[in-house]
Structures are given as C-alpha cells and as structure tokens.
Amino acid sequence: MNRSINKGSAAIKQALVFFTLMLIFNAPVNAGQPSTSGLTEEQTQKQAFDQMHHKLHDDQAMFKAKEAQALAELNAMAIREDIKLEAVSAKIDELMAAKNKIMRLRYAHLIEMRKVLTDEQKVGYDKALLQRSAVK
C-alpha cells in the first residue's frame, strides 16, 4: 500500500511539474507589464516619458545628495582660517565627480527621450534643447 501511495505521489508531482512548465512557457512575454491596449500613441508615449523621468530621478538621487553635501562642506571649508588649498581642491574634485555623473545621466536621458519622439516632435525638442543655457 505504501508503494502505491509513493507511485501516486510521484505521478502527481510529475503532473504538477508538467503543468507548471506549460504555464510558464505559454505565458505572454509582457505578462508583468501594464497593458497598453486601447491607448493612443500619445498616451503610450506619455507613459514611456513618465517612466523615463522617474528612472532619471531615482538614478540621480544619490549623486545629487553627494553634490549638495560636497558643496556645503566646500563652503564651510572656505570660511575656515586654517584650511589648506589641497583640501579645497580635493573637495572640488568630489563635487565635480558628482556633477559629472549627474550630467552623464541627464544627457543619456535626453537622448533616450528623443528616440521615442516622432520626426515632427523632434524638431521642437531639438530647438528647445539647443536654446538651453543651463544644465539641470
């Protein structure tokens, strides 16, 4: 009797493995992603932009915090009587490293955004980009 239970359990396990694999391999590729059916091209584009902006914000957060901290420390150093120029230079290097990473992320973001635009939209986007006088 014990053997028949073990054989039955083995058959059940095999069936479960089979059905699990069938479900995995038959699941749509984008099953975990929100559906975009019924959305206009503009709405789909807006969703993509929102996701890109959110990612940029998350990616830059740590470097912006480092930038703010380094700048505050640099300003505090500048008013000390006994400060050495080498220490100021090192702090400036730290500040510039954070700014460098922020700018790299920002321009990668701008290029990624441009790829989503239509040819008509790129004209206005490019014009606005060229008119920028300051980097965020």
Whole-number pLDDT of residue 3: 54
Give the tens place of pLDDT for each residue, 10-42.
Answer: 556 665 555 444 454 454 444 445 555 678 888
Task: Show me where the domains of the chain are located.
Answer: 41-130
Q: What does the buried/exposed string (b/e) look like for 106-132 if buried means 16 or more CB atoms within 10 Å of the residue's CB?
A: eeebeeebeeeeeeeeeeebeeeeeee
Cα 98 from chain centroid (whole Å): 17
∠ CA 109-136-103, rounded to 5°: 50
* pTM of the model as a whole: 0.64
Q: What is the DSSP letter of 34?
A: P
For the domain covering 41-130, report its CATH number: 1.20.120.1490
Q: How far apart are CA 45 and CA 114, in angstroms?
A: 11
| Burial class, 5, CB count within 10 angstroms (exposed 0-12 / middle 13-18 / buried 19+) | exposed
pLDDT tens digits, 61-115 = 999 999 999 999 999 999 999 999 999 999 999 999 999 999 999 999 999 999 9
